[in-house]
Amino acid sequence: METTTTLDRVAEIEAIYQDLEYRRLDALYRGDREAYASLFANDGYLQESMVLFDLVVFIVPPPPGTTSVVEILADTGDCVAMETKSDLAGIVEGLASESNLIVTLERNGGDWGISFVGGWMCDGTHPFSS
Find the CATH number of the domain harbouring 98: 3.10.450.50
Q: Is 65 left (phi over 0), alpha (psi -120 to 50) or beta?
A: left
Residue-level pLDDT, tens digit, the chain, 130 residues: 444 568 898 999 999 999 999 999 999 999 999 999 999 999 999 999 999 898 999 999 999 999 999 999 999 999 999 999 999 999 999 988 889 999 999 998 889 999 999 999 999 899 987 5
pTM: 0.91
User: In total, how many domains does the chain have?
Assistant: 1
CB 4 within 8 A of CB 89: no
Asked if residue 112 belongs to a domain, the reply is yes
Asked if residue 55 belongs to a domain, the reply is yes
Structural domain boundaries, residue 46: 6-117
